[in-house]
Structure 1
């Protein structure tokens, strides 16, 4: 135990004294503080002008339409709604768009037919969508009146509002989606960063032959446990610092936060949800750190680390993709299955627990599976580390090590 403590202290002090780690942590803390202060910045730089209503925005957008009517009948009928013709024909409108005098324009051929002219095709279709809505409503009103139907009465019936009250007996998925994304992204970056760091550290010791000196005075089991414990502690310290800065930023700027954000945080982050996130995140974090450390011991050069950890990194990316799917469909059958697979459940089970009602039996079963898997893979990782720590010859096949471990 004393040797593990010595390795742990040595590795942790090295990380804490690392300039790159200190600078990275400071930059991340500053970014978090800026993000939590965005509502305050918005009040500082916000416009003092009164907010325009939807109807006023609609009128402003209509005034920006650049129109060409094919005939006088269309112009007389649509001018009161869309405005007067800005150009005499389509060619003039094209010239204006080509010279960037205007961004776009509309050539109206009939009450249900038009041509949209623009210089670049962009993804923002709000203006064209607004034009089509207005254009369509004018045509509908004309057709109803031609058929002898009171268009005002029809629209009054169609637009009759529906009143409803929502009674949520379980959990509100909408309130926790953003928080779930922030949490899984944080854990994702944490495991990738420190997992690769542990694997590289082990490979560097082998590459510089430092491993030979360490093994003579310390057992391989002690080394890997100390390294994983140090990397895990450093990651937890870094996340704790970020959470502390986020909490400080939130409480300083709380008065400027919109009510819906405050309600969302209050509704989604209960004590039991927080406990489930911490439990699965810590267990998953330890699980992947052991795997990365053992894979780093299989190579003799630092340059080979990326290829050695590629399979587990690919698996971890799949777990992240499953988590993004879980945020949209927490009750999906595939997501339910993945919440019992340890390599993925560190993401999917907490997300399911936050966004939907999960039976307590399922949570306990998933936790038990995760704990057992961590213990088994930790034992396997220690064996792989011991097997590969002094191997400098041919590339070790993981299949052979696992076969040897089982026997």
Structure 2
């Protein structure tokens, strides 16, 4: 046990002190704070540069009847856009937009049958929010004008836009309501991405660590005093614990960053991703499948890393494993819209895909308890087999030197381990 803890601490501390790990963590934390406070940063930069955060919309109202109603609509919507009624010539105003003297212009007129027609001018090819706001406001004004022509009361106008009562009831025993699905979808996607990132990143770290020790001949000294099984799982647990610490730091940073930003943004973000109604069961399943997925791929990564003699060959050796993780993520991402697809059900019991696919299904569907338990049991058995087989390969692989011939070296590593 003493040897196991020594290797565990060595893996944890050594990788935790590396410049790459510290810089990566610092950049990710800085990125979280940057994204959370992006709006405030943009406003500050505009103030420093002398730019006004207030947007001015110039209006040329040829009819002379629409501007006041349009301004009232923007005030009703609490828009930060200021409307400026211009009496200049229409072509002169368009020329000012073309010369960037004014940002935006809307020209409004009424047809013979009292229908609003308008044209929006801007030099920006990516502008879409303001034109949408203008169109919605003008549509409301148009409705009021037509209602007045027909002598309709406000209540009568409202009845014209009364939405139909339409509900969807799925008879599938595993289906959730539409509201529950919308709440779960964002949460499952975020947690799925975290599982994918952690598994692929930390598994690669383990393979690189094993290959580095082997290329420096340190491995020969370690194996002479510690059994390969202890060395294998001490590495896996050490780097896994470091990974959990890094994710905890990122989670704490995200929490602090969101607390320092505006309350409206936090509420909107939490509601969009479904964090306002966190399901404890989903969080528990996320932790379980994260740990199982990590141990499965980390054990495989250590096995593959022991077969190479140079760190330059690590990426080539673990490429098949990387493809498996990518395929699992693609399967799960494709099923976000419809988690009841048949192929998702079958692949959720394949150990390499289960951490993401089964988590998707259990997060978005009301599955019988036996389904996730069966998937977890299959993964545990696979991890045990990989640990047993991996230790045999690892024992001989760490003593193999020379050019790597990909997975063909597994047989040679097992034979060398027996000797």
Normalising by structure 1, what TM-score? Answer: 0.72
Counterpart Cα distance in 2 of 1:202 and 1:360: 38
Q: Deviations over 1:177-230 (max 9, x none)?
A: 444344333333332332222111111123223333334444433332221122
Structure 2 CA distance for partners of 1:116 and 1:37, relative to 1, 3 Å: closer
Partner of 2:203: 195
Structure 1, gaps ≥5 residues long? 46-59, 70-74
RMSD: 4.6
Distance 1:2 1:114, change over 3 A: same
Question: Whole-Å Cα distance in 2 between the matches of residues 250 and 95 of structure 1?
Answer: 44
Higher deviation after alignment, 339-348 or 358-367: 339-348
Alpha-carbon shift at residue 77 of structure 1 (Å): 5.5
Q: State the shift of 1:107 in Å.
A: 4.2
Report how far residue 128 of structure 1 moved.
1.3
State the TM-score, normalized to the length of structure 2.
Answer: 0.70
**Alpha-carbon distance in structure 1 between the residues aligned to 2:392 and 2:358:** 29
Q: How many residues align?
A: 376
The CA distance in 2 between the partners of 1:260 and 1:237, in whole Å, is 25
Moved more, 104-113 or 368-377: 104-113
Question: Partner residue of 1:127?
Answer: 130
Q: Which residue of 2 aligns with 1:57?
A: none
CA distance in 2, matches of 1:35, 1:85: 39
State the shift of 1:289 in Å: 0.7
Give the superposition deviation at 1:368.
1.5
Number of the residue aligned with 1:117: 121
Taking the aligned partners of 2:57 and 2:185, their CA distance within structure 1 comes to: 37
Structure 1 distance, partners of 2:366, 2:23, is: 41
Structure 1 segment 5-404 matched on structure 2, within 5 A: 5-18=5-18, 21=21, 64-67=57-60, 69=62, 75-76=63-64, 78=66, 81-82=69-70, 86-89=87-90, 91-107=91-107, 110=111, 111=115, 114-122=118-126, 124-136=127-139, 150=152, 155-160=157-162, 172-240=180-248, 265=275, 267-270=277-280, 272-398=281-407, 401=410
Q: What SS does the corresponding residue of 2:404 show, helix, strand or coil?
A: coil
Return the offset for 1:103: 1.6
Greater helix proportion:
1
Counterpart Cα distance in 2 of 1:338 and 1:87: 67
Cα separation, 1, equivalents of 2:249 and 2:68: 61
Which segments of 5 or more consecutive residues in structure 2 lack a partner in the other structure? 45-53, 72-84, 415-419
Give CA-to-partner distance per residue, 1:95-139, whole Å, 9 cap, x none. Answer: 1112212222234575465443221211x4122123333444555
Question: Cα–Cα, structure 1 residues 156 and 214, in superposed 2: closer, same or farther, change >3 Å?
Answer: closer
Counterpart CA distance in 1 for 2:67 and 2:287 is: 62
Q: Deviations over 1:58-92 (max 9, x none)?
A: xx99x8253364xxxxx156455458664433x32
In the aligned structure 2, how far is the partner of 1:132 from the partner of 1:19? 53
